[in-house]
Structure 1
Amino acid sequence: MQQQISGGLYAAVLAIMGSVMPYMLLPRALVQYAGQEAWLAILLGGLYGLAVSLVTVWAACRFSHRDPVKALRCAFGPWAALPVALLYSALNLLLSALALHDVQTFTSILLLPGTPGWVLAPMIAGVAIYAVVRGVEPVSRIAFAVFLPMVLVILVLPTGLFREFDILQIDPFLYRGLDGLVRAISVTLAWTGQSIVALSFIRHLSPKVNPYLWTVIGVGGAHVLLGVTMALITLVFGSVLPGRLLYPGFELFAIIAVSEAVERIQAAVMVLWLAGGLLKVTVNLFAAVEELSVTFNVHRRGWITAVLAVIAMGAAQILPGPLQRTGLTAQAWWNILHVGLQLAILLLLAIGALVGRLRQGAMASG
């Protein structure tokens, strides 16, 4: 029997996907281009992510059981769903490898200095494999458990940082120019478009809840929270320094003073971020395994999960270092690659939905 998840669990998965990694890797590039308006770039770029997720949900709801891949395979044969499944799985496998690389890099720099990545990667991958094999419900519940404390931390942030705000660091609106804001928005698209992962979770969403409402809550909420933290970063550090820091978001938590007894909450936030990073590795791996398994009608997913995890581990070891990795997010070809894959998947889903609807109409009229 297929596992089902509630609207809250579904939204938590989308929120984690849209907030954890961008918070660590996007601020540096966005501040370099947009300066103080980096928060606005997050919100405007988030509209693209919201559109991607809603179109994905719309296309999925056009098929039986909200399962486009399975419906295409049953209606037209196994090869009909192959283009969508391969593109989607390749994209998620790439994202899983990137997340694994980012988590192992962060850990080796700040938690376990000098520890080789190849030592950390198998442990991270092992946790992801176990969670994927257990199914969608445990993954979603972990996302919910991680996301709630993150929301509470962000709500407390203004209180802990109020004394660090410097009104003299505020620049005039669009000080870097409209072109800088547009460039920053283009950098966010590869990240916000990752909400296409809703395709693997919408089929498990309880039919009793509104899929569009919970998609908006998950994706929209993530980018609102991300925009708030981005605004706090520029209020505290200004519009120049964050562009020179490797992890501006991490440094923000190093100066929080909540009270005399609790001077730093950086360690607790680090644990939450690592849990969120591990979850992103898991969710992207789950999405790749899910669609391949449905396409080829594979019921025992253990070996597919292990093979894809090994590929992700290998790819993570050849990716560039932390400075090059953060710089990669601003490369035009890199963002075009991601956005191109996302739009290609949406186009194939829309074509499949249209063809399926036309076939149903022909059968009804015949």
Structure 2
Amino acid sequence: MNGKIGTTQAAMLIVNTILPTATVVLPVIIGNYAEQDAPLAILLSTLAGLVFATIVGTVIRYSNGAPFLTWIGEKSSPVAATILGLLMLQFYLDTSATILREFVNFIKDNVLIDTPVTVMTILILLITIYMVRQGLESIARVNTLVLLLYFFFVPLYLFGLYRDMDVHQLLPVFDHSLASLTLAGITPATWMSEVAVLLFLAPYLQNPQKARIAGWAGLLFVSVLMMFSLVTTLMVFGSEFIKLSTYPGFSTAGVVHFGRFIEKLDILFISYWVLSIYLKFSIFLFATVECFKQTFRVNSNRPFTGALGLIIALECLFTWQSADQLNLYNKEGRFPVFFLFNVLVPLAAVLLHLLRKPRSKPKGWKT
């Protein structure tokens, strides 16, 4: 069921690993710090993301696509790998739960207002479990088709907005200090660090040596789309609206119209976003199951997918009941946790490999 995926497919998976929740959460956070200079914060976070992708790609190149925790066990000890696996499993369970909660909150606020949260959570989870059981190759194929739809939606979006955009809303430029831009760039850099999911997708890459290329390509595409979303929103509404609106990107989509006969196209863009967030959730659930499999050294993940999904659903329902708490976590609490597991752990793996790498013997050395 889990066939190999190519470098291009891996890059496209990275796009939908980051973009769906980032476009919903980040504009408000970045806008509060950088306002019309928000695109500069995206540039700073992209540079950080490329460094993160380099670190993760280096780990995969050194391990040649071996299961991450198995490779760590060989380089250090099985006990250390198990402890790290348990910590990372908790991290992926928490991350998947927050993704599910953001998904549910958005649907609850914009589409199914009267539907109970529990019902939406169960339905989303069942569909995602089915997707994960089809294997990573199937997820990657569907993901490719969904991303190709950007070639339809982006021109439609621009054509429907061009009369409402005012370039003067982007002025003045460079009006914020480097400290403000750095604060604005920290949170998007956190999302860029999600490229580390490649650590658990590595065994399914056709060419693990090109993992860095996949990470770089995916992050650059994410950066362009995030920049596009922010700039168009700023040009339509201005920087003050971004700070006040819960979902400024979708408010901009609600403005899209063609004359007086086609309007209210925001439901079309919301439908597309739902496809994307399903793929993001399935990628993280797959990584969670893969982390569990490597930690406990089991051969098949099928019996455990439903159980892990149930844990994620329970955490989604009972840990993140308050949207304000989730927003505060996204703004302030996510960075240290993501930096630890998505950046410092891969960096430590690189250093471990270099320290454990056998040194070449000088010429003339005799045993």
Under a length normalisation based on structure 2, what TM-score does the superposition of the two structures give?
0.90
Which residue number corresponds to residue 281 of structure 1?
281
How many Å separate the matches in 2 of 1:360 and 1:263? 69
Tell me which amino acid in the other structure corresponds to 1:252.
T
Offset, 1:349: 1.9
> What per-residue deviation string (whole Å, max 9, x for no partner) do you get for residues 250-308 of structure 1?
11110112455533431121111112112222111111111221233212212322222
Distance in 2 separating the partners of 1:51 and 1:202: 18
**For residue 8 of structure 2, what is the aligned residue in structure 1?**
8
Q: 1:87 is aligned with what amino acid?
A: L
Measure, in 2, the Cα distance between the counterparts of 1:258 and 1:351: 56
Deviations 1:35-94 (A, max 9, x none): 011122122112222221221111111124443322334566532422442333222221
| Range with greater deviation from structure 2 (136-145 or 1-10) | 1-10
**d(CA) in 2 for partners of 1:171, 1:302:** 54
* Gap change, CA 1:327 and 1:247, over 3 Å in 2: farther
Residues 1:157 and 1:282: Cα distance change in structure 2 (over 3 Å): same
Structure-2 change in CA distance of 1:359 and 1:274 (3 Å): farther
Which amino acid counterpart does residue 342 of structure 2 have in structure 1? Q
Q: How many Å separate the matches in 2 of 1:49 and 1:203?
A: 22
Please give the alpha-carbon distance, in whole angstroms, between the structure 2 residues aligned to 1:187 and 1:324. Answer: 16
Find the aligned partners of 1:232 and 1:126 in 2 and give their Cα distance. 35
Number of the residue aligned with 2:139: 139
How far, CA to CA, are the matches of 1:232 and 1:272 in structure 2?
18
| Residue pairs, 1:110-129, within 5 angstroms | 110-129=110-129
Q: Flag structure 2 segments of 5+ consecutive residues without an equivalent.
A: none
Q: 1:12 to 1:360 in 2, by over 3 A?
A: farther
- From the superposition, tell whether residues 320 and 185 of structure 1 become closer, same or farther in structure 2 (CA, over 3 Å): farther
Q: 1:221-300 residue pairs with structure 2 within 5 A?
A: 221-258=221-258, 261-300=261-300
Letter in 2 for 1:41: A
The question of whether the paired residues in 1 share the 8 Å contact of 2:18 and 2:280 is answered with no
Tell me how far apart the structure 1 counterparts of residues 55 and 119 of structure 2 sit (CA, whole Å).
40
CA contact (8 A) 1:174 1:181 kept: no
CA distance in 2, matches of 1:136, 1:172: 46
The residue aligned with 2:103 is 103
Secondary structure of the 2:173 match is coil
Write out per-residue CA displacement over residues 207-241 of structure 1, whole angstroms, 9 at most, x where no aligned residue. Answer: 29833323221121111111111111111110111
User: Identical aligned pairs, as a percentage?
Assistant: 23
Q: Would the alpha carbon gap of residues 61 and 167 (structure 1) be closer, same or farther in structure 2, given more than 3 Å must change?
A: closer
Deviation at 1:2? 5.7
1:329 is paired with a residue of what secondary structure? helix
The 3-state SS of whatever aligns with 1:164 is coil
After the TM superposition, which of the residue ranges 122-131 and 62-71 deviates more from structure 2? 62-71
Counterpart of 1:192?
192
- Give distance in 2, aligned partners of 1:79 and 1:255: 56
Change (3 A) 1:356 1:147: farther
Match status 1:326 vs 2:327: yes
Alpha-carbon contact 1:88-1:345 (below 8 Å) kept: no
Match of 1:161 in 2: 161
Unaligned runs of 5+ in 1: none
Q: TM-score under structure 1 normalisation?
A: 0.90
Structure 1: how far apart are the matches of 2:6 and 2:261?
39
